[in-house]
Each structure stands twice: as structure tokens, then as C-alpha cells.
Amino acid sequence: MSIAMLLEMAADGFGDRTAVGALTYTELLEAAQKRAADIAADGNRPLVVLDVNSPEIPIGLFAAALAGVPFVPLNYRLTPADIDARRAVLGAADIADDAAVLLFTSGTTGDPKAAVLRHDHLTAYVLNTVEFMGAGEAEAALVSVPPYHVAGLSAVLTNVFAGRRIVYLPQFDPHAWVDTASNEAVTHAMVVPTMLGRILDVLDGDRRDILSLRHLSYGGGRMPVTVIERAMARLPAVDFVNAYGLTETSSTIAVLTPEDHRDPRRLGSVGKPLPSVEVEVRDGEIWVRGEQISGEYLGRAGALADDGWFPTNDAGRLDDDGYLYVEGRLDDVIVRGGENLSPGEIEDCLLLNDDVIDAAVVGVPDEEWGETVAAAIVLRPGALLTANDVQSWVRERLRSARTPTIVDFRDELPYNETGKLLRRVIKAELTAPPPTP
């Protein structure tokens, strides 16, 4: 089933509702049909899009589907050489007829890699998670993640099927986010963890509130417990949802519900798997299976096993109640003297210190232990914490193996533009060069 049908149904079921910007669902469908004719006239090539958020994104996404070509959003910050490299990947591969979206993953090393999301993956995700016309007429979703992020695309599909008006922020900026949420009476929004901290800073600094906001979901990276606790205290009327998913899984595969958020034991969890998705943890790695799971890459071997299971490359565990905990990328787990240490657990501990405003923990090579713990820390302005203080703080709260051997104070940590912490950069910087002979 084509994703275009999701919009056709919306136009049929509630065509007069506002879909995005000034367009109703009927008008959005008409605009997509017109654009699809342009795509056909232009030789039915994949629709490559280099743009910030605007109604052009849903128009293009559905137009590509109607024309039977994939929608390929690229990061508009890429250099011309990077764009050429991605075009080369597109040009060299056979593209399946039922590919709806080709999404280049944000991997920071190696050649560009595009995940293939087929129509059936995306429609399965929508049908299994969203009730048709489930949104009330007054609901509006603020989308501020970029269109080349899977959450930016799944937001289009799920909100269209639910009948929820989409409000776009061209690019994320915390002041603009708060202004737009207020001016557009936004009820729903999805943010990545770094966005949430910056939004809270604006709300506190400007002493503002967003009275219309009822529902805030977050994902796309690990949310520090301290940040979500702060958000819940600052926005007591808002329901929070933690969504865990990957590009290759067509967005969300597990959710921590608003009710779960009220149980402090659950805050570090990403919640329970969707009913339509199976999750197993094998040797510390999270594996998933379900109709929405792609695990397929353009012009490369796929990662999906014959029985449909996909290894996420995320380290994690399931507790006795079925809640999933994600401990970071498998490559980021620190193996110290044969013991696996989760960077996230140590980062959470560091962030409990009021003088620490950001922290990243990585493993660096160590002669004695194989790997040892290194921490890059951003202090609150004026704080006088020493490396010793930091080590004592962790040692008193976690076991001594988790105490950072290296403590590096910095002005800020490196993130990519979708809020992913660039651990590889920190790791390289904190890895001491080998001693010269």
C-alpha cells in the first residue's frame, strides 16, 4: 500500500481540515498531484530535496509517492562534494519500485549509506500506531526536526493520517520554537534531547509558558534523566512520551508513555516495544522484528536476518516488566577489564551534580584495563569543580570501575545538527597518542 493513500484518505475523510500552512488536506493532495505530474514530465527520477522545513516537504513526499519515485531528503548543510557523493550512491544502485524514501543515515564515518524505507514499512508503522482521524480539530503538531531525519518524515505521515495540523519551524531555534508554539496554539511536538534543554532555558530565562502544549515526545538520542525531570517540573500540564527508534526501523519502535513517566523508576527507560514490534536482547544488543523494520540499504547488503530480525547496534536490556533500556551504541560501550560499562549511566551520574551542565563519557585505550573511562565535562559558569571532585562524585555513587580516569573540562560538547553527541570526536581527542619510542 502506497503512503499516498494515507493522504488520499485524509482528503476523503476530512478534506476541509487544515493540513499544513494554509493548505487543507484536499489542497495538499491537489498540490502533490500537480507536483507528481511535474516529476513524471521530468522523466520520473528520484525526488532529491535539499531544503529546510516547509509545506514543500509533505507536498514532495506525497508527490514522489504518487509518481512512483523515492523521496530523497538531503541535509542542506552538506558540502557540494558530500552531495555529489550521495548522488553517486543514488546513481549507481538499482532502486526498488516500491521504495518510498531513501534516507542517508547520519553515520559519521565511511561512505554515505542510504536506508531504503519501502511503502509497506511506512504504512505498516502508521496503520499500527495511529488511529485515522484520531486527532481533535484543534490539535496542531510543531515539527522542528529537519526533513532528512526519519522523525521529520514520520511526523508528516502520522499527523496527516491522524488529521492533526502540521506547523513547521524552518530550522530549530529555541526562541522561534517557543514563539511558534505559542502563536500557533501548538498542542503536540517532538524534539530531540538537546532541543528540550534549550527550550527550557528560554522558558526559564524569559519566564514564559506555552499554554496550549499538551503533549511532548522526545527521541533521536539519549535523554538525560536530569533534563526530563526538569521538563516535567517546568511543564506539569504536559504529557511526555519517550520514543525510541532508528532510521532503519521507520521511526518509533518503543514508547515510554505519559503514565510511565510518573513512575520515577521508569524515567531512564525508553518504554515498552510497540505491540506490532518484537524486541529481544541478544548478547547485550537490541534486536527488533516487525512489518515496519527495513534494515535495508541502497546498493549494499542489508542487515536484516533471514527470519526478519534486525540488529540495531544499540546496547540495551529489558527488565522483568518488559521495559527496554538503551545503553548507547554498541561501539560506545566501554569494556574495562572484561566488564561492560554503559556511558549513559556514568553521564547521568555526572549530570546529577548541579555544577555539571553537560557530560560525555567514552572509553579510551588503557594498557592495564584494555579500556578506561574518560569524561568530557561542561561546567556551569563560575563552578569550581576539580577533576578530583568529579572522580569522588562518581566513586561515591557508582562502583569505582566507573570512575573516570581522565576528566577533561570544556566549554561545550560537539553535537551534530540533529542533536546527536559526536562521541567519536571526543574519543579521538581524549585518546592519548601512543608514546614515541
Closest distance between other proteins and the C-beta of residue 135, in Å?
A: 8
Closest distance between other proteins and the C-beta of residue 111, in Å?
A: 28
Tell me: does residue 155 bind other proteins (CB under 8 A).
yes
Round to whole Å and give the CA distance between 178 and 47.
32
Here the cell at position 153 is 518524515
Mark the segment that binds other proteins (CB under 8 A) among 48-56, 133-141, 362-370, 414-422.
Answer: 133-141
Tell me: does residue 144 bind other proteins (CB under 8 A).
no
Q: Is the dihedral of CA 82, 83, 84, 88 positive or negative?
A: positive
List 128, 182, 416, 431, residue binding other proteins (CB under 8 A): 128
Closest distance between other proteins and the C-beta of residue 155, in Å?
A: 4
Mark the segment that binds other proteins (CB under 8 A) among 236-244, 296-304, 345-353, 401-409.
Answer: 236-244
By beta-carbon proximity to other proteins, the closer residue of 96 and 425 is: 96
DSSP 3-state of 372: strand
Mark the segment that binds other proteins (CB under 8 A) among 49-57, 61-69, 82-90, 240-248.
Answer: 240-248
C-alpha dihedral over 47, 52, 53, 58, to 10 degrees? -10
Q: Site for other proteins (CB under 8 A): how many residues? A: 42
By beta-carbon proximity to other proteins, the closer residue of 168 and 393 is: 168
Tell me: does residue 120 bind other proteins (CB under 8 A).
yes
List 24, 247, 249, 251, residue binding other proteins (CB under 8 A): 251
What counts of helices (H) and strands (E) characterise the chain? Answer: 13, 22
Mark the segment that binds other proteins (CB under 8 A) among 3-11, 201-209, 327-335, 399-407.
Answer: 3-11
Tell me: does residue 13 bind other proteins (CB under 8 A).
yes
Tell me: does residue 107 bind other proteins (CB under 8 A).
no
| Cβ–Cβ under 8 Å, residues 400 and 377 | no
Closest distance between other proteins and the C-beta of residue 248, in Å?
A: 16
Round to whole Å and give the CA distance between 114 and 82.
13
Tell me: does residue 105 bind other proteins (CB under 8 A).
no
The contact mask relative to other proteins for 159-198 (x = CB under 8 A, - = no) is x-xx-x-----------------------x-x--------
| Sheet bearing 370-379, strands edge to edge | 356-366, 370-379, 406-410
Round to whole Å and give the CA distance between 368 and 338.
11
Q: Hey, which residues between 256 and 285 contact other proteins (CB under 8 A)?
A: 257-258, 274-275
In terms of Cα–Cα distance, which of 136, 226, 225, 153 is closest to 190?
153
Closest distance between other proteins and the C-beta of residue 250, in Å?
A: 10
Tell me: does residue 138 bind other proteins (CB under 8 A).
no
Strand pairing report for 71-74 and 47-50: parallel
Closest distance between other proteins and the C-beta of residue 16, in Å?
A: 15
- Give, as one character, the DSSP assignment of residue 266: G
Round to whole Å and give the CA distance between 36 and 41.
9
Q: Is the dihedral of CA 158, 17, 144, 268 positive or negative?
A: negative
Burial of residue 321, with CB atoms counted within 10 A of its CB: 0-12 exposed, 13-18 middle, 19 or more buried: exposed
Tell me: does residue 131 bind other proteins (CB under 8 A).
yes
List 24, 53, 144, 154, residue binding other proteins (CB under 8 A): 154
**CB proximity list for 16: less than 8 A, separation 6 or greater:** 24, 25, 26
Round to whole Å and give the CA distance between 55 and 103.
19
By beta-carbon proximity to other proteins, the closer residue of 87 and 215 is: 215
List 18, 129, 247, 372, residue binding other proteins (CB under 8 A): 129
Round to whole Å and give the CA distance between 236 and 83.
43
Tell me: does residue 416 bind other proteins (CB under 8 A).
no
Which run of H or E residues covers position 326?
strand 324-329
Here the cell at position 396 is 561515591
Which residues lie near other proteins (CB under 8 A)? 1-2, 5, 8-9, 12-13, 120, 123, 127-134, 141, 151, 154-155, 158-159, 161-162, 164, 188, 190, 215, 217, 219, 239, 241, 243, 245, 251-252, 255, 257-258, 274-275
